[in-house]
């Protein structure tokens, strides 16, 4: 899962890097200049399978979950994105959780048929 926000000179991203049992939620940016392809990770948060599974858990409120995770990344960030970026990333991450749940529900329905 990955969400992006384009600022005046960089593209900010929040994304989940999946591992075997430990995963990482990252806040990073890439400068938008010709020839610049480097990505700078400004915050990372190790997350376990339980938190990753909560993305698909209908009992978890996606808005609260996305706000909490993005706020933690913002607190840890060595470089702070603009406020409007954080607001957008929280909203978009919440929407991504909704999309993930819809896909999981559709797959469940298809496999039951």
Q: How far apart are CA 41 and CA 46, in angstroms?
A: 13
Q: Please give the distance of CA 59 from its chain centroid, rounded to a whole number.
A: 19
User: What pLDDT sits at residue 21?
Assistant: 78
User: What pLDDT sits at residue 24?
Assistant: 94
User: What pLDDT sits at residue 18?
Assistant: 87
pLDDT tens, residue by residue, 8-18: 889 999 999 98
pTM: 0.85
- Helices (H) and strands (E) in the chain — how many of each? 3, 4
Segments of the chain scoring below 50 in pLDDT: none
The full set of domain ranges for the chain reads: 2-105
User: What pLDDT sits at residue 105?
Assistant: 78
Question: Which tokens in the block code for residue 104?
Answer: 């999981």
User: What pLDDT sits at residue 32?
Assistant: 79
């Amino acid at each position: 899962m990955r969400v992006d926000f384009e600022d005046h000179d960089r593209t900010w991203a929040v994304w989940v890097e999946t591992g075997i049992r430990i995963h990482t939620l990252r806040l990073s940016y890439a400068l938008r200049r010709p020839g610049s392809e480097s990505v700078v990770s400004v915050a990372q948060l190790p997350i376990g399978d339980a938190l990753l599974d909560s993305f698909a858990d209908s009992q978890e409120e996606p808005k609260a979950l996305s706000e909490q995770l993005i706020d933690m990344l913002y607190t840890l960030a060595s470089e702070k994105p603009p406020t409007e970026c954080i607001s957008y990333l929280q909203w978009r991450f919440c929407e991504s959780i909704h999309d993930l749940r819809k896909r999981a529900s559709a797959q469940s329905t298809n496999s039951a048929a």
